[in-house]
Amino acid sequence: MSTRDNIIDAAMAIVRDAGVGRLTLDEAARVAGMSKGGVLYHFKGKDDLIRGMVQRMIDQCEQITRAYYEVEPDGPYRWTRTMVKSCFDPNGPANDPVGGALLAAVTVNPLLMAPIHAMYALWQERLKSDSPDIARAALVSSAMDGLYFQRLMGIRMSDQDGATRLRDFALDLLSHSNPGAAP
């Protein structure tokens, strides 16, 4: 593991254990077992460190999404179906308390949102690339975003059985030419 990755791991541990308000370069250095100068060599400041943490979470999302995409059958809405399945992955970043804290941090500084905006633009292009009805794909995608953000905030709208039914319903919407049509 690189020193940079070690620092990001330390910062994420601080946020998980104590919240984003406790994240400082000094504390990241202490937890990473290095000097503050060592942290500053890799990150210009706290915003740069947060940017690195955000990028780590984006990379985790992308890795999970790619894994689902590779096994998802070809056909209409392949990317949207992939998004639905990856949204319900128990190992996804939405289930990590760091995500909610980072969301709070990036809203304070909108410049830190740039990597998130770039990833969303890529995801939207993917959805458009294989969706015969972009409105349907956008509706399902928006629902998955809502679930993702609920998890980031620690809100659970249903138990596991309810989540499975919701996932299946979203996938069902993508398998019919008429919304609500019988299978």
Q: Write down the pLDDT at residue 81.
A: 97
Q: Write down the pLDDT at residue 156.
A: 80
Asked if 58 and 148 count as a contact pair (C-beta separation under 8 A), the reply is: no
- 1-43 folds as Arc Repressor Mutant, subunit A (1.10.10)
Q: Write down the pLDDT at residue 13.
A: 92
Q: Write down the pLDDT at residue 178.
A: 53
Pairwise CA distance, residues 39 & 57, whole Å: 20
Q: Write down the pLDDT at residue 181.
A: 45
Domain boundaries, the chain: 1-43, 57-173
Report the residue count for the chain: 183
Q: Write down the pLDDT at residue 180.
A: 47
pLDDT in tens, the chain (183 residues): 899 999 999 999 998 888 888 899 999 999 999 999 999 999 999 999 998 998 998 899 999 999 999 999 999 999 999 999 999 998 887 777 777 777 767 777 888 888 888 999 999 999 999 999 999 999 999 999 998 888 877 788 788 898 899 999 999 999 975 544 444
Asked if 174 and 140 count as a contact pair (C-beta separation under 8 A), the reply is: yes
Q: Write down the pLDDT at residue 11.
A: 93
Token reading at 130: 């294989």
DSSP state of 73: P
Q: Write down the pLDDT at residue 177.
A: 58
120-to-41, 159, 172, 182, 183 alpha-carbon distances in Å: 30, 28, 24, 32, 31
Q: Write down the pLDDT at residue 93.
A: 77
User: Residue type at 97?
Assistant: P
Pairwise CA distance, residues 34 & 7, whole Å: 9
Global pTM reads 0.84
Asked if 53 and 12 count as a contact pair (C-beta separation under 8 A), the reply is: yes
User: Quick one: which H or E segment has residue 14?
Assistant: helix 3-18
